[in-house]
Amino acid sequence: MSLSIRFLILAACALATAGAALAMPSVGLGPRQPTNWSAITTFIFFVGATLWMTRLATVRSRSSADLYSPGGGISGFQNGLAIAGDYMSAASFLGISGLVFVSGFDGLIFSVGWLVGWPVITFLMAERLRNLGKFTFADVAAYRFAQRPVRTFAAFGSLVVVLFYLTAQMVGAGQLVKILFGLEYAYAVIMVGIVMMMYVLLGGMTSTTWVMINKAVFLLAGTTLMALAVMFHAGFNPEALFARASDLHVLKDALMAPGGLIKDPVSAISVGMALMFGTAGLPHILMRFFTVSNAREARKSVAWATLWIGYFYVLTFIIGFGAIVSLIGNPGPYFVGGKVAGGLQGGANMAAVHLASALGGDLFLGFISAVAFTTILAVVAGLTLSGASAVSHDLYATVWRKGNARASDERRISKLTAFSLGVVAVILGIVFEHENVAFLVMLAFSIACSANFPVLFMAVLWKDCTTRGATVGGFLGLATAVVLTLLSPVVWESALHNPVGSAPFPYASPAIVSMPLAFVAIWLLSLLDRSPQAARERLLFQDQLIRSETGIGHVAVRPHQ
């Protein structure tokens, strides 16, 4: 059976699954609404178009290099759009607007925190990543170190970050499909998982790059239209918009004051650290710098990505306040009163989607839903690829097979891993059904800034860093971040349903503890390491420095032990 036929069968199955949802009973708030055929038709059209883009790009995905990175054939402008598309995920579009809808001004901390993480990438990472790496960030972290321990850590760090990030995307997509099709949440998440694996298994990084580019354009266009519509109804007067929102919201004047979301200064600092430095530890974002041809294009990628992301985050703030005015001030079929978050079908994560219906009717609802859905699918595909490459390229090919793996075997392991990640993501998406997706992604950032970022930073910029310091310090930061996250209120109380106030770790993010701990451990253990291998690694730093700054030089001869 040809690849084209298999693709069409899978696409038909996915759309048939969506259609079957129409016959299933709704479990949302209030009585089930009549089938919204206009929105559903628009939704299926745009989702089908992105699936076809994946099919067209599949013919170019023939090798391991195409699976992980499209051979350096993407320009800086294109890669900047792809990075923006990867970064503007469910947390950005659905999560931040939902946080603003519930908490007002405090939701802006996520927009600002995620945006200011990009100067860290610009000045510390982008050029060095492109000059030192090939497929994954472990190629950079392990450049002058023993391969097996560092790549083993990098693989585990990547997988944990990917799973937390995937969970947020699955929650957002599940709620979106639930309210659009009337499908039960669990079935909606399963459907999303199936379509997600179609993206990854059929296309690899080449297809997801182009899907993300197109998705970024659609998302920017859609959110711009929504923001303009909100401002039009407010007479293009932001003060009038905020005043009207304050009058309608249960928080009243407190809506425009800090403290509605992050309650204490320690949590604010910890969340800020995670959002700022976590970006430089996200494996699926770091992989994007290997898709361009040289360091100059990598820098251009960051510049363009920062422009699009900054513009987008301003829009999410407007959309959040617009949802307050339009949904609370003019209750429609999706808002049934009661608490602000509980009054929306699908919860606060769906504020932007319901706003689209209030502003532009069924067709605009279908368009925004399709954009949000393809946004999530593209991000999920990039996340799954980064997790799959961590297992197939770092663990299997480099650690287990010591660089002697066949390309066909590596691709097979990668696809098996992608399938496994999809299954786990579906399960976690069901468990975390009621969590805000921006908060869930913040937890992934907390782990990234506590494990991946310290190792990458010290390995690239500090000559005395050693294999022992990087590995032990990285694992210590990873373990601390995971344990404290599980003991935090977001997981301990909300997801595991323990009593409010019983969380052993009281802060929203573990970064304020786990990130400094990782840096100190790397520094101390590296200084105490006097082994012959450590001495050799310090000597190799000069070669690494030259290559990282200029792209000139040979890859160091590194042992696999």
Residue 243 to residues 255, 272, 321, 325, 328: CA-CA distances in angstroms? Answer: 10, 28, 10, 10, 14
**Class for the domain spanning 3-53+72-445:** mainly alpha
Is the distance from CB of 61 to CB of 7 less than 8 angstroms? no
Q: Is 317 helix (H, G, I), strand (E, B) or coil?
A: helix
| Confidence (pLDDT) at 478 | 96
pTM above 0.75, yes or no: yes
Residue 131 to residues 84, 126, 158, 293, 504: CA-CA distances in angstroms? Answer: 22, 9, 21, 10, 43
Is the distance from CB of 437 to CB of 164 less than 8 angstroms? no
pLDDT digits (tens, 9 = 90+) for 268-280: 999 999 999 998 8
Residue 170 to residues 15, 334, 368, 467: CA-CA distances in angstroms? Answer: 18, 21, 17, 36
Lookup result for tokens 């339009």? 326
| Confidence (pLDDT) at 107 | 85
pLDDT digits (tens, 9 = 90+) for 446-473: 999 999 999 999 999 999 999 999 999 9
Give me the residue spans of the domains in the chain. 3-53+72-445
Chunked into runs of 10 residues, the chain (561 residues) has average pLDDT values of 46 48 40 64 78 60 47 72 80 86 87 86 80 75 87 89 89 86 86 76 58 81 93 93 91 85 88 91 79 77 90 93 86 55 73 89 86 79 79 81 77 85 89 84 92 93 94 96 92 84 90 97 95 92 87 56 49
Residue 508 CA to its chain's centroid (Å): 19
Is the distance from CB of 367 to CB of 222 less than 8 angstroms? yes
